[in-house]
Amino acid sequence: MGVNLKDIAQRAGVSLATVSNVVNGYRPVGERTRQRVQQAIDELGYSPNLGARHLRRGRTGLIALAVPELTNPYFAELAEIAIAEAAALGYTLVMENTAADRGAELALLDGSRRRIIDGLILSPVRVGRKEVLARTAGGPLVLIGEGVYDVPHDHIAIDNVAASHAAIRHLVAIGRRRIAFIGATPGGDRQSAHLRVRGYREALAAAGLPYRPRLVARTDAFGRLDGRRAMRELLALGDPPDAVFGYNDLVAIGALRALAEAGHRVPEDVAVVGIDDIEEGRFSAPTLTTIAPDKREIGRLAVRRLVARIEGAEVAGPLTVQTPFRLVRRESTGTPGD
Amino acid sequence: MGVNLKDIAQRAGVSLATVSNVVNGYRPVGERTRQRVQQAIDELGYSPNLGARHLRRGRTGLIALAVPELTNPYFAELAEIAIAEAAALGYTLVMENTAADRGAELALLDGSRRRIIDGLILSPVRVGRKEVLARTAGGPLVLIGEGVYDVPHDHIAIDNVAASHAAIRHLVAIGRRRIAFIGATPGGDRQSAHLRVRGYREALAAAGLPYRPRLVARTDAFGRLDGRRAMRELLALGDPPDAVFGYNDLVAIGALRALAEAGHRVPEDVAVVGIDDIEEGRFSAPTLTTIAPDKREIGRLAVRRLVARIEGAEVAGPLTVQTPFRLVRRESTGTPGD
DNA sequence: CATCGCCTGTATAACGTTATAGAGCCGTGC
DNA sequence: GCACGGCTCTATAACGTTATACAGGCGATG
């Protein structure tokens, strides 16, 4: 099909190996030879056959980013950053959608099925420490966003408990006392939900507010629809909350919708806070106060760590990195300022 | 590294070629032999080395979906569908972000630079017929969503003019007479914007309404921010519109935001319609009336066409396929019903 | 002047797969 | 009894690259 090493070698009158060395810089090549080869490459328009290169090297140059939902803007924004960073490092990123399915996560972790990927960035939601530890094949693994700790892999996330604290402190500071949480989840799934609930409880206690289990709404998933349903349930309580903290921005936006439909004013009657700082929250009515993780840092760091591991480089620092976050006040808590 | 064909061949006591035939079904294999080989495969946990397969076959099994913005929910939703369809056909889909950059689109079209992809699905916005015709390498090409016609490639899109007609007819039907368009674009870029403006003008004429150039707002890009800015400009006119049709849902949502900030009621003062039917529009306040393309059909068809071309299959039917769309009425035009 | 080592460059063997040519076996038809 | 064709299966040559071992030339060193 295309132009290959042999063509270049013939044109430049050198051996295959020399051309390869010019292309890869693996061994020094004399200046005159290099120029002849480079000229031949330019003239014939050579680009290496990646399949062959990868067969020989044992690596494909592909890394995967597996997320529970592609359509969650948080992950779309993260993916955009990760794709750019991967490209800058000479890798191609493929997106995988686990659809928050345990089987899909396990299949990715197993890694033996598809030997096409050099390494994996995974946002796990249905697997825990044990399943992660069971990974033996498939190359390096970087975990993002969840609370699977004590595994021999890089793990990049915000401090979920501290993030909750910040959100609740803000709601308390603006005078709210019946603060609900939307997005708790039963069992061992979705560690981050447990951590965010923990932060919520701790912050309530620190503020001297009672913990009311009925104000903690469970959801099956974490989309707008789930947030709306949960908010409706909370509103149906005899004594509804005066503030809501959502597991993420999508849930919070669903809650905003339920509040609007029920005729409640935000933030006057109910204040709302989310997590993720997706662009949608800057244009919702009202705009959404949120905990903003540093998505750029998370995306770039995850890719850089993974690539470093793949290439066998020494990586300094601890496996677990907590990236910074900040509270962004907008209309849904009555204190616009973004 | 992993288990390979040779291991299986030894274990089953047959030749390499026989194992390959069992795996690929390329040539018939005796029932007893097949079972022995299959057993060996299961026991050793063999999966083919894709790099080697692809080197030999000359194909990589990778296809690319290149879109102008990953973070536009329309493309995220489309990507989710396309990824699933590609997986079902045994292909891996990689996302490319052109960022609506002409250079990026040209580089993808050129195809000679990265020989890793078997074919490309492109949503072009900055290249036209000429640039598409110049493509000679890089495998089959499927275009989605824009108005580049008369090229020897599959092209899948809605009828942009008809979609505009439907939107404007609806606005006229609910009594609007000063209807604005947000998202026109100068020059030859973004064919679909031109087509949507054309549909807008034709529909106005058909309704006996005058075409007012000042009510057609240009934008540089097509996000929420652009919609808000354009809406502000329209509101600053002496005689602002009583309805707005946005180039897409994001622009329309930006317009909603500008209207809310300026204290206008939607739909009472100004009605708003978008295109794309992204989930966000079902939860905005007010919910957004929109033209809903059949994303599932577009995504699946694009992938199926591309794969068929890659595999050299005969593809029946015309190159250009116009997929169906429908008007979804929601609160922003005062006629909820979704 | 012989030896050593560095510097360039070459020849060649993998990497794991698939496609092609052909070998062995068996039953069929003359 | 023998040629023949149809089935299975095997041996092997690619695919394009990189890494290893090696060869030749040349200046420096003893």
The strand ranges marked E within chain A are 62-67, 92-97, 119-122, 141-144, 154-157, 179-184, 216-218, 243-246, 271-275, 289-293, 320-322, 325-328
Q: Does residue A144 or residue B28 have the better pLDDT? A: A144
Query: Where do we find the tokens 């989840």?
Result: A185
pLDDT at A223: 96
Q: What is the mean pLDDT of residues A39-50?
A: 88
For the cut 50, the answer to whether the pLDDT of residue A338 exceeds it is no
Closest CA to A321 of A154, A79, A124: A154
pLDDT at B111: 77
Helix (H) or strand (E) run with residue A86 in it: helix A73-88
DSSP state of A263: T
Pick among B101, B116, B231 to test the A interface (most A CBs inside 10 A)? B116
Distance CA B202, CA B162 (A): 10
Tokens read off for B187: 């020059």
pLDDT at A337: 44
Q: Render pLDDT for A69-98 as a digit per residue (tens, 0 to 9).
A: 999 999 999 999 999 999 999 898 999 999
Is B4 at the interface with chain A, CB within 8 A? no
Whether nucleic acid strand D comes within 7 Å of the CB of A26, the answer is yes
Tokens read off for A271: 């204040």
CA distance readout (Å), B236 to A118, A149, A237, B332, B338: 55, 55, 45, 21, 33
pLDDT at B113: 66
First-to-last C-alpha distance (Å) of chain B: 54
DSSP codes of every residue in B17-28 = HHHHHHHH--S-
Q: How deeply is A174 buried, as exposed, middle or buried, from its count of CB atoms within 10 A (0-12, 13-18, 19+)? A: middle
Confidence (pTM): 0.91
pLDDT at A313: 73
Interface contact flag, B283 A254, Cβ < 8 Å: yes
Distance CA B105, CA B64 (A): 12
Using CB atoms and an 8 Å cut-off, which of residues 284-313 of chain B contact chain A? 284-285
Pick among B59, B83, B280 to test the A interface (most A CBs inside 10 A)? B280
Dihedral of alpha carbons A70, A71, A74, A77, sign: positive
Is residue B271 helix, strand or coil? strand
Whether nucleic acid strand C comes within 7 Å of the CB of B329, the answer is no
The nearest CA of chain A is from the CA of B93 a distance in Å of 7
Using CB atoms and an 8 Å cut-off, which of residues 217-276 of chain B contact chain A? 223-224, 228, 253-254, 256-257, 260
Neighbours of B338 (CB within 10 A): 14
Q: Render pLDDT for B102-132 as a digit per residue (tens, 0 to 9).
A: 999 998 998 766 678 899 999 999 998 899 9
DSSP state of B29: -
- Regions of chain B with pLDDT less than 50: 337-338
3-state SS of A108-133?
HHHCCCCCCCCEEEECCCCCCHHHHH
Whether nucleic acid strand C comes within 7 Å of the CB of A51, the answer is no
pLDDT at A146: 80
Averaged pLDDT score across all residues of chain A: 92
Contact criterion met (CB below 8 Å) for A274 and A281? yes
The nearest CA of chain A is from the CA of B42 a distance in Å of 12
Interface contact flag, B283 A115, Cβ < 8 Å: no
Nucleotide nearest to A24 (CA to C1'): D18
Beta carbons within 8 Å of A32's beta carbon, 6+ residues apart = none
Band of residue A123 on the pLDDT scale cut at 50, 70, 90: very high
pLDDT at A335: 64
Contact criterion met (CB below 8 Å) for A138 and A110? yes
Q: What is the mean pLDDT of residues A52-67?
A: 90
Q: Which residues of A touch B58 (CB under 8 A)?
A: 1
Backbone angles phi, psi at B335, to 5 degrees: -130, 65
For the cut 80, the answer to whether the pLDDT of residue A336 exceeds it is no
Find the Å distance, CA of residue A17 to C1' of nucleotide C6.
19
Distance CA B177, CA B243 (A): 8
Q: Render pLDDT for A157-196 as a digit per residue (tens, 0 to 9).
A: 999 999 999 999 999 999 999 999 999 998 777 889 999 9
Return the number of CB contacts < 8 Å for A and B.
127
For the cut 50, the answer to whether the pLDDT of residue A309 exceeds it is yes
For chain B, percent helix, then strand, then coil, each to nearest 5? 45, 15, 40
Whether nucleic acid strand C comes within 7 Å of the CB of B49, the answer is yes
For the cut 90, the answer to whether the pLDDT of residue A47 exceeds it is no
Distance CA A322, CA A156 (A): 6
